[in-house]
Amino acid sequence: MFLSSIKAEDRSPFGSFWFEPVGMRTASGARVTADSAMTLSAVFRAVGLVAGHMALLPVVAYKRGTRRRVNHPLLRLFNRRPNRWQNAFEWREMIQGHLELRGNAYNEIVADPRSGVITALLPRHPDRVKVEVLASGDYRYRVTQIDGTVKLVARDAMWHIRGLSSDGIVGLSVIEYARESFGLGLSAQSYGARFFANDAKPSGGWIEYPGSYKDKTQRQTIRETLQDAQSGMNRGKLMLLDHGMKYHEVGLSNEDAQFLETRKFQISDVARWFGVPPHKIGDLEKATFSNIEQMALEYVTDSLLPRAGRIEAGIEADLLFDDEDIDVEFDFEELLRGDSTARRNYYHMGILDGWLTRNEARAAENREPLPGLDEPLRPLNMVEESTAEDQEIDAETAEPKQQETAEPKDASASTRLHAIVQANAGRLARRIAKANGELPAPELLAESLGITHDTAVAWIAAHRGLPLNEIDMTAALASLGSTP
């Protein structure tokens, strides 16, 4: 059983109540703890939003220095099941929530004693973990168990993720530094509840009594009579006054009327503390149609990316062996997809520029790959790379064609044949150069130059093994095609 399943109000000898921070009383009179702050809707939304998005992102591993993905046992813990009680989403959401509210997240490492491979990560509630600095300068963790016993955990047996830290040992709690701001929000919320419990009217009023009271006893008797007439079952009933008394209701002050504005301000204030755009937690005052998409992008780059970098660094430093050449990253592709128009333009430009294949675009849209769409296109003519040489014409090849166009109509057939052979020979020569000296197949040679298969085989056999870079390959191929 995890601590998250134990009710905060459990005051038994080993209940969670005794391990939670007392909370410091703020100037507004409210005591602020991580749990009381979560009663503010803006705080709950901010924490849930960030924790949910970080839990949603898949974790991938690359060979260091490349973009080639590799498999690793840690990926099963982060993407499938970190322990036998939780799935990956629940676990990652919880530890991110610990980071947001308390500045620290703790996971006890369970590893195979023979291989050293990590088999489970067991979360420990930050309120029950204390860091104990030793005389040597090292430190260990004191974990209070549910039964009240204390377990000592070595530093290398605890995966500790720190938020912003001032000493490098423990992270700073947002609640501790934002207690005055959150205390104001809690006080405004409490005031609003009392205000509307009183029918949205200011409590109290005063009664004008002509003359004077005989003594204190008469004054107290009249006060108690009037209060009894307007309390309990008599609340809201018509009040009857005698002896010339008049009731004067206290008007709604400007301060009373502005408490809703105060609560509205708290939303943007909470957004600042957690580093999320206000529109993400319900404040759309400054969001417009023209900037909402840019603000959503800034949420990923300015808010989620630093959080991901903190966890990535923790994984590589504490959960991987030093000799493992692996980079761990959160895959943000899903959050950066954009709308349908933006995605369509992104795929279109990637395919036209040749750095994205058509099947990769289909996979990004969760579609099955199609045969023949795995090869990138060449931007110039939009042809596949393997057939680009057959359709490529450079300046050297274009010259004979321009000359051919300029020749009179009665040019001899031999001249036109020579131009065709010269062009084909140039294409074959460039293909041989790009193939690192590999000669073409006899069938291709015979078809390109209009010679017999036996002639092509004989020519290839004669030139195999020769330093082709020293031969004028274009001239050699052209002369072969021109041989009667």
Domain assignment present for 11: yes
Last residue of a domain, one of 303, 336, 369: 336
Phi-psi region of 65 (alpha: psi -120 to 50; beta: other; left: phi over 0): left
Q: Do 342 and 476 fall into the same domain? A: no
- Confidence band, pLDDT 50/70/90 cuts, at residue 304: very high
Q: Do 27 and 132 fall into the same domain? A: yes
Domain assignment present for 307: yes
Mean pLDDT of 206-235: 74
Q: How many residues are present in the chain?
A: 484
Domain assignment present for 211: no
Q: Percent of the chain scored above 70 by pLDDT?
A: 72
Q: Do 343 and 439 fall into the same domain? A: no
Last residue of a domain, one of 387, 405, 426: 387
Q: Do 61 and 19 fall into the same domain? A: yes
Q: Which amino acid is at 417?
A: L
Q: Do 87 and 152 fall into the same domain? A: yes
* Coil/strand/helix, residue 140: strand
**Cα–Cα distance between 119 and 109 in angstroms, integer?**
8
Domain assignment present for 279: yes
Using alpha carbons, select from 88, 67, 129, 156 the residue that is nearest to residue 96. 88
Q: Do 381 and 411 fall into the same domain? A: no
Q: Do 132 and 186 fall into the same domain? A: yes
Q: Do 284 and 366 fall into the same domain? A: no
pLDDT for 50: 95
Do residues 357 and 376 make contact, with C-beta atoms less than 8 angstroms apart?
yes
Last residue of a domain, one of 328, 354, 387: 387
Q: State the residue range of the domain holding 190.
A: 1-204+250-336
Up-side HSE of residue 123: CA atoms within 13 Å toward CB?
Answer: 30
Domain assignment present for 154: yes
pLDDT for 290: 66
> Model confidence over 335-348: pLDDT tens digits?
776 667 778 888 88
Q: Do 323 and 431 fall into the same domain? A: no
Other Cβ atoms closer than 10 A to 178: 19
> Model confidence over 163-196: pLDDT tens digits?
999 988 999 998 888 888 888 777 777 766 666 6
Q: Do 286 and 145 fall into the same domain? A: yes
pTM beyond cutoff 0.85: no
Q: Do 87 and 169 fall into the same domain? A: yes
- The CA-CA-CA angle for residues 336, 339, 345, to 5°, reads 90
Is 24's pLDDT higher than 60? no
Q: What is the overall mean pLDDT for the chain?
A: 79
Domain assignment present for 131: yes
Mean pLDDT of 80-102: 95
Domain assignment present for 138: yes
Domain assignment present for 192: yes
* Coil/strand/helix, residue 142: strand
DSSP tag of 373: -
- Confidence band, pLDDT 50/70/90 cuts, at residue 3: very low
Count of structural domains, the chain: 3
Q: Do 196 and 294 fall into the same domain? A: yes
